[in-house]
């Protein structure tokens, strides 16, 4: 199922910077702009890709309400979805946007930038808003559930990724990283 959007609706990133140049992966902001068509396409994407741990209606509806952006290919098919919720991070004693992303396997890697574009768009949006669902947040919290990322990302700090900082490990040996908003 394809999502229809006009060229004016799409957001593009080249590396870590927003650009007006058309890119192979185009982002569409869903946060505060849900439509029945987009929601149906997201649910179909999740089910087809088996991206969620459960597919009961209550769980899917909850997750759907948490979607922030989708990435579309040239045929306007979803190839990536990100969502987020406000979450209290005990080690820092403050609220962050807990960032989740799922990318279709054939769009992972190969420098396609799908996951990173979703991260940059999410960071840039909430760096302006600094609130999610009425909860003030001070940054983005990301847990690297990907075995691949945990094996190749070894930087303690990444200026390229909005000054993302490594802060520890989960009990499942997944990296925890935070990125503070500006100011």
Tens-digit pLDDT profile for residues 33-50: 999 999 999 999 999 999
- Whole-model pTM: value is 0.91
For 96-146, where are the alpha helices, taking DSSP H only? 114-129
Tens-digit pLDDT profile for residues 59-84: 999 999 999 999 999 889 999 999 99
Residues of the chain with pLDDT under 70: 1-2, 4-7, 110-111, 150
Which residue matches tokens 């520890």? 168
CA distance to 20, 36, 108, 125, per residue, from 111 (Å):
19, 32, 8, 23
How far apart CA 102 and CA 53 sit, in angstroms, is 12
């Amino acid at each position: 199922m394809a999502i229809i959007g006009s060229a004016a609706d799409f957001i593009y990133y080249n590396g870590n910077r927003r650009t007006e140049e058309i890119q192979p992966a185009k982002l569409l902001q869903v946060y505060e702009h849900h439509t029945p068509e987009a929601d149906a396409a997201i649910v179909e994407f999740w089910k087809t890709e088996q991206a969620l741990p459960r597919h009961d209606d209550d769980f899917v509806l909850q997750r759907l309400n948490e979607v922030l952006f989708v990435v579309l290919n040239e045929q306007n098919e979803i190839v990536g979805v990100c969502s987020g919720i406000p979450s209290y991070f005990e080690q820092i004693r403050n609220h962050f946007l807990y960032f989740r992303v799922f990318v279709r396997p054939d769009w992972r890697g190969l420098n396609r930038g799908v996951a990173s574009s979703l991260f940059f768009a999410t960071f840039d949006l909430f760096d302006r808003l600094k609130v999610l669902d009425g909860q003030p947040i001070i940054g983005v919290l990301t847990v690297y559930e990907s075995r691949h990322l945990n094996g190749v990302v070894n930087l303690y700090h990444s200026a390229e990724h909005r000054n993302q900082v490594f802060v520890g490990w989960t009990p499942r040996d997944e990296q925890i990283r935070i990125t503070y908003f500006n100011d």
